[in-house]
Amino acid sequence: MDNKMVNGSWILLESLYRLGIDTVFGYPGGSVIPIYDEIYKYKKIKHYFSRHEQGAAHEADGFARATGKIGVCIATSGPGATNLVTGIMTAHMDSVPLLAVTGQVGRSSLGKDSFQESDIVGITLPITKSNYLITDIRDLPRIIKEANYIATTGRPGPVLIDIPKDIQISEIPFNEFEKLFSEEINLPGYDPTYHGHPRQIKKAIDLIKTAKKPLIIAGAGILKAGASKSIIEFAEKTNIPVTTTLLGLGVFPSNHELSLGMLGMHGTVAANHATEEADLIIAAGIRFDDRITGNPDKFCKNASIIHIDIDPAEIGKNKKCDIPIVGDLKNVLFEFNRRLDKMDHSDWVNTVKGWKKEYPMVYGSSNEGRLLPQEVLSELNKVLAGNAIVATDVGQHQMWTAQYISFNNPNSILTSGGSGTMGYGLPAAIGAQIGRPDKKVVAIVGDGGFQMTFQELMLIKQYNLPVKVVIINNSFLGMVRQWQEIFHEKRYSFVDLSVNPDFNKIAEGYGINSITIDTKEKLENDLRPAIEGDEAVIINCIVEKEVNVLPMIPAGASVSEMVGKRGVI
């Protein structure tokens, strides 16, 4: 085979396969026809036919989050490539390893406003870790290896490779490809720090030993480092309570006695009070974003802060810390666990347990007997019993999911945190189910976000995926409506979705089973068999229209300004 000629499209697929990638999501178009022609013949990679490029990006994202592997999506040039942008941004904000492969017009047509030409490298520059425009076929093997390495190491993130159509059909000898692919990766400007500085680690340990009211804030960085067991060992050894960010849910079991649940704007009262009273914060793999801190000047105002992150750019960006530690969390926590003896913070732990008991997550009842969304999610939690992967869309249902669903295992919640992307939930669930066929996967979506990407239902039918879709149907863009109610005197401007489509007929159109749940009796009788069944199902839950997510810390406010501690305002 040494003298055989191989083209750029084959080089792309063979390089991906040699890197351990056997699953891609995509949508064909003019500038990727050669790649799709090669996919037709290439049997070592499974291609899943998305129904929109945004869906392909979210499916690759969900696949990556659920499996810990890199997700790959393919789109054509121009509008195909720009349709990926929302998904690339979503992966970028949440540090998800994603490889986006786009077709491009031929090199001779670049810069001439050719048909379906767009500068996707320039467009995605702010939302990728790195991106490439291929100008020589001999660069392709090296760049694919580099892209995979950059996307999956250090702080993970998306990388884009833009491949002109003429390079896809250009050829080089197979033995030249072998030589090029075997070359070592050489990226002198890219060198993540994996081991925390010994002096900083010693300072942190000394501070932990003297703290009376320490608190661990656990974020998604723990997931990326595969350090969930390490953080559990650390918390149990030191007897320190743990709260998590939205994206950190699952890194520390919800049912653990030291767990305070999620903190922040819609976090638990206990978690938020703990940030006010703590004298030491151990911030592990978080970025102190505004949904956590509110007013950063007043956040953790009584505490010293140890901030551990593999990305030095995050340390001190949003919140000044006392002891910065740049490094891989698994390695840093290993050092903590190795050097620290058993500790006792019983008085502090009992205090936060008192807050948990005094301010549980509660909800009332509907005046007209309608279902409350919290009721639906509480019942769903009983059915799932912590043994599922849950993907959410964005909005009220997302926050209720974080509040009422138990996440006891890593990589069990897939949700758009940093970018808040409506339409994420369904395609992410599809990608997760493809990546983890052994797991039950449930998409929890709102009636608004579901309509942004429900064309991806076709993949559920085409590939016989047993995804369960739970629609929290309140006929509103719920979170926007909530803000309009609280902060804009109930001026409900263009949030009314009472003219929704018939979701059961949509399910029928896609050949998927569906049920409607609109009473407590149906919730108790119909939800469990639908979720526990072997087939896909859309569960349309008709809930009370004007219910708010509580408690709530208004944007830019502090914990002392929290409203709805007991579930009402």
pLDDT score of 65 more than 80: yes
Model confidence at 365, in pLDDT bands (50, 70, 90)?
Answer: confident
Quote the percentage of the chain above a pLDDT of 70. Answer: 99
Does residue 295 lie in a domain region?
yes
pLDDT score of 3 more than 90: no
Q: Give the mean model confidence (pLDDT) for residues 281-293.
A: 96
Q: Given this model, what pLDDT does residue 2 score? A: 67
Shared-domain flag, residues 348 and 473? no
Quote the percentage of the chain above a pLDDT of 90. Answer: 96
The token pair at 202 is 């010693």
- Is there a catalytic annotation at residue 165? yes
Shared-domain flag, residues 51 and 129? yes
Q: Which of 129, 145, 165, 213 is catalytic?
A: 165
pLDDT score of 344 more than 70: yes
The token pair at 469 is 């879709």
Q: pTM (2 decimals)?
A: 0.97
Q: Give the mean model confidence (pLDDT) for residues 401-430.
A: 97
- Is there a catalytic annotation at residue 288? no
Does residue 74 lie in a domain region?
yes
- Our count of domains for the chain comes to 3
**Cβ atoms of residues 10 and 167 within 8 Å:** no
Does residue 98 lie in a domain region?
yes
Shared-domain flag, residues 202 and 135? no
Q: Which of 89, 452, 479, 562 is catalytic?
A: 479
Three-state secondary structure call for residue 238: helix
Q: Given this model, what pLDDT does residue 1 score? A: 62
For the stretch 211-228, pLDDT in tens is: 999 999 999 999 999 999
Q: Given this model, what pLDDT does residue 566 score? A: 82
Q: Which of 4, 115, 343, 532 is catalytic?
A: 115
- Is there a catalytic annotation at residue 479? yes
pLDDT score of 517 more than 70: yes
Amino acid at 478: G
Across the chain, mean pLDDT equals: 96
Shared-domain flag, residues 420 and 476? yes
Domain encompassing residue 491: 373-550
Q: Which of 69, 116, 181, 461 is catalytic?
A: 116
For the stretch 136-172, pLDDT in tens is: 999 999 999 999 999 999 999 999 999 999 999 999 9
Q: Given this model, what pLDDT does residue 569 score? A: 63
CA distance 204 to 330: 15
Final residue in a domain of this structure, among 182, 212, 240: 182
Query: Exposed, middle or buried by CB within 10 Å (0-12, 13-18, 19+), for 281?
Result: buried
Does residue 187 lie in a domain region?
no
Does residue 271 lie in a domain region?
yes
Q: Give the mean model confidence (pLDDT) for residues 20-32.
A: 98
- Is there a catalytic annotation at residue 115? yes
Q: In what order do the strands lie in the sheet with 158-164?
A: 46-49, 23-26, 71-75, 98-104, 158-164, 130-133
Amino acid at 547: V
- Is there a catalytic annotation at residue 53? yes
Q: Which of 53, 146, 375, 456 is catalytic?
A: 53
